[in-house]
Amino acid sequence: MAGVAEKLEECRAGGRSGLATYVMAGHPNVSATKAAVRGMVRGGADIIELGYPFSDPLADGPVIHNSATVAIKGGMTIKSYIEIVKFARRITDVPLITMTYSNIFERHTYDALISRLVNAGIDGIIIADMPVDESASYVSSARRLRAETVFLASPNTSRARLGRIAAASSGFVYLVGVYGTTGQRKKVAPYTLEAIRAAKRTIKDTAVGVGFGISTPQDVAMCVRAGADAVIVGSPIVRIAAESPPGRIEARVASYVAGLRRATQRR
């Protein structure tokens, strides 16, 4: 089982950028999530992000917010989330990342929750509302328990701050490519590509992944050309999991992810 950083290194050696795909655990139900994970594996995702729902997800647009609401209503708890993680770990050895909000960790405590996640097979953690300034106890707990910490950056993040974010990050730095929340955009904006280039100029020792608003192979290819070491896609997969008949989720996710993966080749 390779960590997130090793996996991205392996992708680079193969002349590609990494593809990270996201699904919300328990949306619309646990078996749909498992089907989506199987589809991601079949489609060739390099990293799988398993979202854990929070009732008030500030950084998320309507698709993922709604998926969180459905998952919570459906009874998603840490206990059932751990089962999904274990399932994913059984069927694949790609790195697994937990993505959620700070209150979930605050409630369960960092030590207790991170150790449960790591024991179940999680490699890294993304906390959408956790800036580096507030991260001391989170990072020390994660380091001790050997979880990689992915921090977020934004197009308006200063160079000095990018350095601090990179220093606190392991795995990669998650560049939020747009101003706004998660969810589909018409196409990748020029300022997003400029933000990727700027992040790559500043951050030398950590990979840079870009996400938010990326949904098509064309989007992926543009980000790869701009220098992104990884591209992250979420909302479209969440939508496939919600809108497909249960028997079709795996195949649809697989073919969608395979299309994205082909676009990760560096030319």
Partner 1 sequence: MKGRFGKYGGRYVPETLVPALEELESAFYKYRREASFKRQLKQLLSEYAGRPTPLYHAKNLSDEAGGAQIYLKREDLLHGGAHKINNTLGQALLARRMGKKYIVAETGAGQHGVATAMACACLGLDSRVYMGSTDMARQKLNVLRMNMLGAAVSPVSSGSKTLKDAINEAIRYWLANVKTTHYLLGSAVGPHPYPEMVREFQSVIGREIRSQMRRIKKNPSSIVACVGGGSNAIGTFHEFVDTDAELIGVEAGGGGLRSGRHSATLGTGSRGILHGMMTYVMQNSEGQIGSTHSVSAGLDYPGVGPEHSWLKDAGKVDYRTATDRQAVNAFMVLARTEGIIPALESSHAVAEALRIAPSMKKSEAIVVTLSGRGDKDVDVVGEWMTGHGRRSRKT
Beta strands in the chain (DSSP E): 18-24, 47-51, 96-100, 124-127, 148-150, 152-153, 172-176, 207-211, 230-233
Nearest approach in angstroms of CB 63 to partner 1 is 12
3 state DSSP class of 36: helix
56 is catalytic: no
For partner 1, the closer of residues 155 and 227 by Cβ is 155
Best CA proximity match to 57, nearest among 2, 104, 95, 107 = 104
From candidates 2, 44, 70, 78, binder to partner 1 by CB under 8 A: 78
48-69 exposure pattern, b = at least 16 Cβ within 10 A, e = fewer: bbbbbbbeebebbbebbbbbbe
From candidates 54, 110, 172, 256, binder to partner 1 by CB under 8 A: 54
State how far the Cα of 31 lies from the Cα of 25, in Å rounded to an integer: 10
* Six token digits for residue 112: 């207790």
Give the range of 13-21, 28-36, 59-67, 222-230 binding partner 1 by CB under 8 A: 59-67
60 is catalytic: yes
Angle CA(108)–CA(47)–CA(144) in degrees, nearest 5? 40
Is residue 82 a contact partner of residue 117, using CB atoms and an 8 Å limit? yes
Give yes or no for residue 167 binding partner 1 (CB under 8 A): no
Give yes or no for residue 85 binding partner 1 (CB under 8 A): no
Nearest approach in angstroms of CB 263 to partner 1 is 26
Footprint of partner 1 on 87-106 (CB under 8 A): 101-104, 106
State how far the Cα of 210 lies from the Cα of 195, in Å rounded to an integer: 9
List 46, 60, 219, 250, catalytic entry: 60
Give yes or no for residue 194 binding partner 1 (CB under 8 A): no
Total interface residues for partner 1 by CB under 8 A:
41
Nearest approach in angstroms of CB 94 to partner 1 is 26
For partner 1, the closer of residues 11 and 125 by Cβ is 125
**Cβ neighbours of 3 (radius 10 Å):** 16
How many Cα atoms occupy the beta-carbon half-sphere of 63 within 13 Å? 22
For partner 1, the closer of residues 11 and 230 by Cβ is 230
Residues that bind partner 1 (CB under 8 A): 53-56, 58-59, 61-62, 65-66, 69, 72, 77-78, 101-104, 106-108, 128-131, 133-134, 151-158, 161, 165, 176, 179-181
Catalytic residues: 49, 60
